[in-house]
A and B are shown apart, each in its own frame.
Chain A
Amino acid sequence: MKSNFIKGFSATIPVALSVCAYGLVLGVLAYSKGVTFFELLLMDVITFAGSAQFLMVELWKDPLPFTEMLFAVFAINLRYLLIGASLTPLFKGSTLFEKAALMHLVADENWAVTMARLKKEKITPYFLFGGGICLVICWLISTLAGHTFGFVISDPYSAGLDFVIIIIFTALVASFYDGKDSVLPWVVAAIFAYLSFVFIPGKWYIVIGGITGALVYSIQKNLRGAESE
């Protein structure tokens, strides 16, 4: 149990380093939008969701657009419903208390690292939790450092900071490639994600592309199962 925590913590370090770059940018942005140090700290610990926090900071003004912000947070984080569902095999046999306690620190990054590892070996939810602790530490340090010393980074675009997360996720996607079975679902997911990105405001493209692609996979498996019977 303890070793799973440490394994998860260390396996998440490379991703966490890139999250730091992301956090620095968020800190700089938060400072420029007038989010206080304490408010940013609260967000880091209570919400702990990168893209939602970016969005909140982006929308931050006086008076606060309460409803829009909360709905946007819901829409952006809707994928956590699916992320939570995809963690079902990992939590098989866990108590309800364990589930409730360990789920808070689930972010895209430690989830992806955990799912990739789960394909190769037997791990417990503490692997995921170790990754979460690693991320929350890096997240706090980097966002608050960005808030405090942000003025040093003059040109985040040239440094490619916004693309770090994309590259990391690309590398993780590659590890999920499952041969021929993945091709059609992935093509469908990519097309639907892009079309939704163009035509539907907000972050719905993640949920729409993800679900359609997964549906294709399921239907494909179903049809193949029917053939072999």
Chain B
Amino acid sequence: MNDFDMLAILLIILAGIITYSLRFGGLLVGNMLSKHKFIENLIKALPGTLLLSFIVPSIVSEGISGAISALAAGIIAKKTNNVLIALAAGMAIIILFRNFL
């Protein structure tokens, strides 16, 4: 095994330790913080705002087709409660735009 291999494995292990510490650390800190009403509301709102922040740049970068696709997927998901149907509709729109328009 050469140096690159050893370093690569060390790197992967360290990346894993960092990731796990954030996962577990968040839960421990959250436990202490949730005693405050303000923090509790903050934590309650986080899932929606985090996911939204995740998708917004990609949708904007994609342009009109991204917006139409996301809007369709969002509305369908809310109405049908079915992620798979929403996914099929959203993907159909994206593939159509990328290949035929």
Contact = CB atoms under 8 A, between A and B. Distances in A.
B78 to A, nearest CB: 4
Interface in B32-87: 33-34, 37-39, 41-60, 62, 66, 69-70, 73-78, 81, 83-84, 86-87
A47 B53 contact: no
Contacts of A207: 50, 53
A158 B66 CA distance: 14
Contacts of B12: 39, 42-43, 46-47, 56
B49 A171 contact: no
B27 to A, nearest CB: 4
B91 to A, nearest CB: 6
Q: Does more than half of chain B's interface fall in helix, strand or loop, or is it mixed?
A: helix
A152 interface: no
Chain A interface size, under 10 / 10 to 19 / 20 to 34 / 35 or more: 35 or more
Interface in A152-182: 157-160, 163-164, 166-178, 182
Nearest to B45: A217
Nearest to A177: B78
Given A213-B53, A215-B42, A167 B15 contact: no
Contacts, number: 277
A50 to B, nearest CB: 11
Contacts of A83: 23, 26, 50
Nearest to A39: B8
Interface of B: 4, 7-9, 11-16, 18-20, 22-31, 33-34, 37-39, 41-60, 62, 66, 69-70, 73-78, 81, 83-84, 86-87, 90-91, 94-95, 98-99
Interface of A: 14-15, 17-18, 39, 42-43, 46-49, 52, 56, 62-64, 66, 69-70, 73-74, 77-89, 91, 99-100, 103-104, 106, 108, 111-112, 115, 157-160, 163-164, 166-178, 182, 185-186, 189-190, 192-194, 197-198, 205-215, 217-218, 221-222, 225
